[in-house]
Structure 1
């Protein structure tokens, strides 16, 4: 089998097959000492605070919103975020979830994060951050990745101000935001994505920027293989729309930008050090095919990275639903709090399309 231009070999294939049940058991909360006997425990994030009780219902609290916080500057332009915090946090330091909106890399608003983050923050267990980032065509790739990385670095730098645990940060994106989130998840902390803009500087002497590495990734229907995404358009109308979407992102025809296209494809950067992933995707998505998330899920498991793929049954691009929200919360509690909760990969039904 070849993947990313490399022959992984029979040894890698057998290792991936053996590891997959253990990884799924870990995420489903079923892997106890006996289940893991004779095999190393899958990589996980150690919490800095006790996890919430598995049987306890979320404790509703009020959500405090601070809007228009500058997290970085790009070419003199401020990049803004909204920060959502519980008025009664469950611990002195909480995990943070950075949200990246969709919009084909050319439109959208950080307001879209207000559809998702309040229910997480209202548990008292999370701080939510929804960000604006630069759009095409004025700012081609990787400007969007740089902005997302800057937001994570800023969250770490502002940990004391907002009660954030800098060792527990997740990134969550939908559609184009999911693509950015996934690339950040598999490249965060690398030299290449750490370009401009720098994090907004606070008082005191300048220091080395914090890392942009994250501890969990959630991708709602975002493309993880940009070449395959481009090739998925099959009608003249779809091809024209795809070119209008991706040529501004890559600064020219996609076939002529192979290196840049690859850099924007999370599936080509997967390695065993990547954080756990939750991939949620409509099975009838006609814009971003479901098979792209299925391939990403397989690549993650093949690298021994915990991953859950949740199909949204008979649904297209973009979705909302109470059960989807519960899967997200279970995944974050499992990974960032190490709570003994199940993260089901059973298909889920959506209730509506995004507002």
Structure 2
């Protein structure tokens, strides 16, 4: 019987979304190796030979009350080393919608290099679960991944977080609040997972933030027309349990720029210069704050582009950043503007 033709990256992402949506799915699935011509053009992750991507969908990483919180784990076959760094993806959706399957548009290309394990997580939504539930969920995912690192071939000392839009906000706060017990939350490790002798940390070693609002006060104030103000209240009032001016402590806790200090991990900030949802200047201010604190930070403007972006050079910058800070490769990460090729699917 002839072997099936390799899936395109778009078809692979669709298959992953279907697999992850199957009720009770716990099986491990393998995606065929992507065609090398796709890896060298549309994907743009430089690799000599693409690995297969092994997918374990619907893994419970914690439980908030009766609600299980799930992750999909993507591993390369064969892996490039016994223990690989991991990249945890946090999707966007204004804190009230979206799915972990959004990470399947980006992570398979990264994992196919053979150098990374990818994890894409779900988290609790507003209005039922206001801030800091989303941060607590993300921190619980990092602790779980460290506790389960042997199972997934992950180096627990090399974990990055990557978020987009509201997911970028969560990722940035997570990165800037390592060791902050007040924002850690108390979500448990899943049942059946062996408890390590030392409680695992939620610190990460690198942050990639695509167009996330790093200053929630400035984000709220960026709405100036009546229509924009109403839309902003629709986003943020459910997040904070009321209008942001009346929730000053929560707004501050949700602003990564308010937590910056010299202990923070390296940041890669990418943002459209014509973003009308989250102004570019918020990422510029975050970059300045990180730089003043002595934290390695690269700000990459996505020239003449709005909210959400994809492109080959964008992929290359992300990979260079991760290779530099998780593999110690002597590569530079340019802050020169890039051009986007399309919006996210």
Task: Provide the TM-score with structure 2 as the length reference.
Answer: 0.85
- Kept in 2, the 8 Å contact 1:97–1:127? The answer is yes
2:176 is aligned to 186
How do residues 248-259 of structure 1 correspond to structure 2 at under 5 angstroms?
Answer: 248-259=238-249
**Pair 1:143–1:205, CA change in 2 (3 A):** closer
Q: Which moved more, 1:146-155 or 1:206-215?
A: 206-215
Question: What does residue range 289-308 of structure 1 map to in structure 2 within 5 Å?
Answer: 289-308=279-298
Q: Distance in 1 between matches of 2:142 and 2:73?
A: 13
Q: Distance in 1 between matches of 2:311 and 2:238?
A: 32
Alignment of 1:69-148 (within 5 A): 69-148=59-138
Q: Work out whether residues 148 and 193 of structure 2, in 8 Å CA contact, stay in contact via their aligned partners in 1.
A: no
* Residue 265 to residue 90, structure 1, CA distance change in 2 (3 Å): same
Aligned runs of 1:122-271 on 2, under 5 Å?
122-204=112-194, 207-271=197-261
- Cα pair 1:247 1:254 within 8 Å, conserved: yes
SS of residue paired to 2:277 = coil
RMSD, aligned CA: 1.2
Following superposition, the deviation at residue 205 of structure 1 comes to: 5.8
Give 3-state SS (helix, strand or coil) of 2:227's partner.
helix
Unaligned runs of 5+ in 1: 1-55
Query: Is contact 2:147-2:194 (8 Å) kept?
Result: no
Describe the superposition over 1:261-312 as per-residue Cα deviations: whole angstroms up to 9, x where unpaired.
Answer: 0000000100001000000000000010000000000000000000000000
Counterpart Cα distance in 1 of 2:216 and 2:267: 18
The answer (yes or no) to whether the contact 2:70–2:121 under 8 Å persists in 1 is yes
Q: Equivalents in 2 of 1:206, 1:123: separation in Å?
A: 30
**Structure with the larger RCO, 1 or 2 (CA within 8 Å, 6+ apart):** 1
For residues 230 and 216 of structure 1, what CA distance do their matches in structure 2 show?
27
What are the equivalent positions in structure 2 for 1:32-47 lying under 5 Å apart?
Answer: none
Q: Secondary structure at the match of 1:83?
A: strand
Kindly state the Cα deviation for residue 194 of structure 1 after the two structures are TM-superposed.
1.6
Q: Which residue does 1:68 correspond to in 2? A: 58
The 3 A distance-change label for structure 1 pair 118 and 68 is same
Alpha-carbon distance, 1:81 to partner: 0.4
Q: Which residue of 1 aligns with 2:334?
A: 344
> Aligned partners of 1:204 and 1:353: how far apart in 2?
41
Distance in 2 of aligned mates of 1:131 and 1:216: 17
TM-score under structure 1 length normalisation: 0.83
Q: Distance in 2 between matches of 1:201 and 1:188?
A: 25
C-alpha distance in structure 2 between counterparts of 1:73 and 1:254, whole Å: 28
2:321 maps to 331
TM-superposition CA deviations, 1:4-36 (whole Å, max 9, x none)? xxxxxxxxxxxxxxxxxxxxxxxxxxxxxxxxx
Asked if residue 279 in structure 1 is aligned to residue 269 in structure 2, the reply is: yes
CA–CA distance in 2 between the matches of 1:112 and 1:89?
23
> 2:333 & 2:66 partners in 1: Cα distance?
43
> What is the rounded CA distance, in whole Å, between the counterparts of 2:320 and 2:109 in structure 1?
13
What's the offset of the Cα at 1:206?
7.3
Aligned counterpart in structure 1 of residue 312 of structure 2, from 322, 329, 343: 322
